[in-house]
Amino acid sequence: MPTISAGKLRKLQSLADAHGRFTMMAIDQRGSISAALAKLLGVAASEVPFEALVTVKAVITRALAPYASAVLTDPIYGYPYSGATIPGAVAVLLACEESGYQTAGPGGAERVSRIIPGWSVAQAKRVGADALKFLLYTHPDATEATRRHQESLVRRLGEECAEHQLPFLLELVTYSLEHAAASPEFAREKPGFVAESAREFSKPDYGVDLLKLEFPGNLKYTDEYSRGAFDGVTREPVCSLSDVEASLRKVDEASAVPWVLLSGGVGIEEFLVNLRLATAAGASGFLCGRAVWQSVLSHYPDEAAMKRVCLAESVFNWQRCVATAENALPWFDHRQYGGLEAIIPDPHAADWPRP
Amino acid sequence: MPTISAGKLRKLQSLADAHGRFTMMAIDQRGSISAALAKLLGVAASEVPFEALVTVKAVITRALAPYASAVLTDPIYGYPYSGATIPGAVAVLLACEESGYQTAGPGGAERVSRIIPGWSVAQAKRVGADALKFLLYTHPDATEATRRHQESLVRRLGEECAEHQLPFLLELVTYSLEHAAASPEFAREKPGFVAESAREFSKPDYGVDLLKLEFPGNLKYTDEYSRGAFDGVTREPVCSLSDVEASLRKVDEASAVPWVLLSGGVGIEEFLVNLRLATAAGASGFLCGRAVWQSVLSHYPDEAAMKRVCLAESVFNWQRCVATAENALPWFDHRQYGGLEAIIPDPHAADWPRP
């Protein structure tokens, strides 16, 4: 029977819904929210006030948290200010990566991640987090120095999460060394990158419990959706929908741990298709943010309008995501576990007292 | 504005229902379950097998946990074996006192408590507990040595819970130095003992977040209920119902922190009256066990029968308790806090990272 520490088991259960599916809301974004507000306010991203991020996160958290199985927020602008509006029955994940990345490698085309300065797994656990989240940029062909840096960072976090019996959710974000993120070339490269990084970082020695993965492809470049289905723009297709489905199966085979889908800033209609295909291939749900609440930002600083849009649009978007995840694989039915009844808490991990 | 550490705030919310009321199920009993099973099996309490307690706790936990806002269990027979059947949205409290007490003082009439050997606040937090529970025997007229021992034990646990930002629930159980627990004399003494101990241990330097208190009186000795209302036995009354209501008001005034009612082994009909009166006086809900599931024990080792009784009787009992607690005071509306919106997480406690 597979064993897991009692704390990790307990907290994985708290992150999922009653059926073991993850319907988790992300509001831990920092860089992307700053960028959107900067554009709106006509200032540099560095000039967006601290309070603007706090306000945006507070409005969205209060409106959407009651509908989620868990909420992912950050310890800088989010949790200290809006943590109390997350219902007690909804679990909390705390992000611990510094937003964005530092450049590295030849020509600065590679990306390395770091932990928020002054923050740690121990502090996240102490303040009440039910899980730790770390966003890692990853490229299978990065230089060895970059790969070693990223791998040792994950390994270290995995060890600390094991020590604190806190589930470790690792978000993997791939990038191209040569092409733009929205290019047809990257649409071709990406499926392999996603599968390869999932394979690497779900190896047991990293200590990852749950992967948060990109959609391995870009529907806008498929035959079926290339005629502007999502944004009105016609593109030259690079593959068919069945190729994307094959890529999803490869990702699911590559991941040795349960995985959830991220939205990565795509629109809600595209995300709903992504999610339907991903859960059909074995994803255990989603952890998504911008696809659901992106439109709220444009109403800042009008809090009343932001709340209205949250209730009118974001909750509607959210409920469609939840419905679409109905056929997600319960995390404990992933082949790593084989059913909740088969899982036992590691009898040695806690040194349980005896009578 | 009142401050509280982020971890304690988060976990207090998880212990309560969506309205801030505690509907918590206790299955952490060890001595009283052993005693009941020993009687049933015709053996000494020390001969009741380990597995018997594990089984009883597992059956009751699985049946009732889904209806509770939180479950209190123990780290010896309970949590390692049946923790995984507690839904993720239901919080977990772990008991950390050794069951029963050691005698002390003149003639051995006093009672001192101790922590489960080899167990600690740090371990409870690590394995996923959302709160720590400690049962303390207390008598206002115990010798100074006994009082100092009990007080310093609570103070130490309070400090450790503060360090780990884990809510500290202290259960206070009074006793008589001279009279039997079921005597009219103790029915007279008890209200003052309960109020006095609540006053002492809700002082801020003990670090207690929530008190679990006895009903300050005994309805069987009131004019109104003395004619066998609960058990068919007629008794000489020692007071009226309005005296009991006055005692409850004194307990509520004495407690500087939110408090919940325990059932202490009374029958369900008596407990429902206790609970109605306690919540009318300011209690924030209940943490009860035996009043709800006591009858299940008599069917051991017939697991199918135990499950049937759980579903037929215990769930019915439970739902009446929940309904009776509808008018409980939300914990954050206790005068210590003054409303959820007024509470802010202590900005210094976590050393929140800055951008």
The C-alpha atoms of residue B200 and residue B283 are separated, in whole angstroms, by 18
Task: Return the minimum-mean-pLDDT range out of A177-186, B4-13, B88-97.
Answer: A177-186
Distance CA A125, CA B130 (A): 11
Q: How confident is the model at residue A348, as a pLDDT?
A: 67
From the CA of B162, how many Å to the nearest CA of chain A?
A: 10
- For the segment A312-330, what is each residue's pLDDT rounded down to a tens digit? 999 999 999 999 999 999 9
Nearest to B126 among A79, A116, A165 (CB): A165
Is pLDDT above 80 for B168?
yes
Q: Which of A6-10, B266-270, B289-293, B351-355 has the lowest mean pLDDT?
A: B351-355
As a whole number of angstroms, the distance between CA B69 and CA B130 comes to 12
Q: Among partner residues A77, A88, A118, which is closest to B91 by beta-carbon distance?
A: A88
Whether B64 shows a pLDDT value over 80: the answer reads yes
ipTM: 0.94
Please determine, for residue B354, whether its predicted confidence score (pLDDT) is greater than 90.
no
Distance from the Cα of residue B228 to its chain's centroid: 27
Backbone angles phi, psi at A265, to 5 degrees: 80, 5
Q: What single string gives the DSSP state of each residue in A5-44? A: -HHHHHHHHHHS-TTS-EEEEE----HHHHHHHHHHHTS-
Interface touch A355/B13, C-beta < 8 Å: no
Report yes or no: A184 and A202 within 8 Å, Cβ to Cβ. no
For range B285-297, the mean pLDDT:
97
Angstrom distance (rounded) from CA B107 to CA B143: 12
C-alpha distance from A246 to closest chain B C-alpha (Å): 34
Q: Mean pLDDT for chain B?
A: 95
pLDDT greater than 90 at residue B349: no
Q: Which of A11, A13, A97 to mutate: most B Cβ within 10 Å?
A: A13
Q: Is the four-CA dihedral A311, B13, A346, B62 of positive or negative sign?
A: negative
Q: Would you state the pLDDT for residue B351? A: 77
Across the interface, which of B9, B30, B92 has its CB nearest the CB of A10?
B92
**Nearest chain B Cα distance for residue A340, angstroms:** 8
- Token pair, residue B178, equals 């001279």
For residue A131, the surrounding DSSP H or E stretch is strand A131-138
Nearest CA in chain A to B345: A80
CB contact under 8 Å between B79 and A9, yes or no, is: no
Helix or strand holding residue B59 (H, E): helix B50-64
Maximum Cα–Cα distance across chain A: 70
Q: Judging by DSSP bridges, how do beta strands A102-104 and A110-112 pair with one another?
A: antiparallel
Residue of B nearest to A96 (CA): B353
Query: What was the pLDDT predicted at A183?
Result: 86
Tens of pLDDT, residue by residue over B106-149, are 999 999 999 999 999 999 999 999 999 999 999 999 999 999 99
**3-state class of B66 per DSSP?**
helix
E strand map for B66-109: 70-73, 91-95, 102-104
Give burial (CB, 10 Å; 0-12/13-18/19+) of B304: exposed
Structure tokens at B311: 């579903």
In chain A, which residues have pLDDT < 70? 1, 347-350
List, in order, residues 6 or more apart from B333 with CB less than 8 Å away.
B20, B339
The tokens describing B180, both together, are 């039997």
Q: What is the reported pLDDT for B265?
A: 86
- pTM exceeds 0.90 for this model: yes
- Compute how many other C-beta atoms are within 10 angstroms of the C-beta atom of residue A219: 21
Chain-chain contact of B14 with A350 (C-beta, under 8 angstroms): no
What's the token pair of residue B196?
Answer: 């006095």
**pLDDT tens by residue, B209-255:** 999 999 999 999 999 999 999 999 999 999 999 999 999 999 999 99
Query: What tokens appear for A344 in the block?
Result: 């036992």
Q: What is the four-CA torsion angle of B287, B292, B298, B301, rounded to 10 degrees?
A: -70
pLDDT of residue B348: 67
| CB contact set of A77 (below 8 Å; sequence gap of 6+) | A30, A50, A53, A54, A57, B355
Burial A239-269 (b: 16+ CB within 10 A, else e): bebebbebbbebbbebbbbbbbbbbbebebb
- By the 10 Å C-beta count (0-12 exposed, 13-18 middle, 19+ buried), A320 is classed as middle
Tokens 């924030």 found at: B284
Inter-chain residue contact A126 with B347, CB threshold 8 Å: no
